[in-house]
Amino acid sequence: MTNLVIELPTEIYEKLQTKANGLGKSPQELVQELVTSQLAEPNKILSESERGRQALMAAGLLTELGPELKKRANHNNISLEEAQRILGTAPGKSLSEIVIEQREQNI
């Protein structure tokens, strides 16, 4: 394997470190994965959904689950019907009602 040394502005390295920690990886591992994935399929055409996901991740608005959350998610096996039943009995307004109200306030 070949080593590569790069210089990054401190703020970019801190973002890299934060993102890597959130994924349970070292900054070096994350950079290696990112570079490898970009070079492995440079002409890959992304779907609109994949492009949106990448844009959200780049903006820091979406992240991959860390190892602990993945483990917890795998242990919680609930069906869609059960989730709908639970959410249907929750007190208060639905999320869509809250969003509509907030949109009306910003008009």
Could you tell me the pTM of the whole model?
Answer: 0.42
CB 8 within 8 Å of CB 19: no
Write down the pLDDT at residue 11: 92
Mean pLDDT on 24-39: 85
Domain ranges in the chain are 10-105
Q: Quick: pLDDT tens for 38-89.
A: 777 666 677 888 888 888 887 778 878 788 888 877 777 788 888 888 877 8
Write down the pLDDT at residue 45: 74
Which of 41, 42, 8, 54 lies closest to 27, judged by CA? 8
Write down the pLDDT at residue 83: 81
Greatest Cα pair distance, the chain, in angstroms, is: 58
Residue 65 to residues 14, 86, 90: CA-CA distances in angstroms?
A: 19, 24, 26
15-20 long-range contacts (CB < 8 A, ≥24 apart) are: 15/60, 19/63
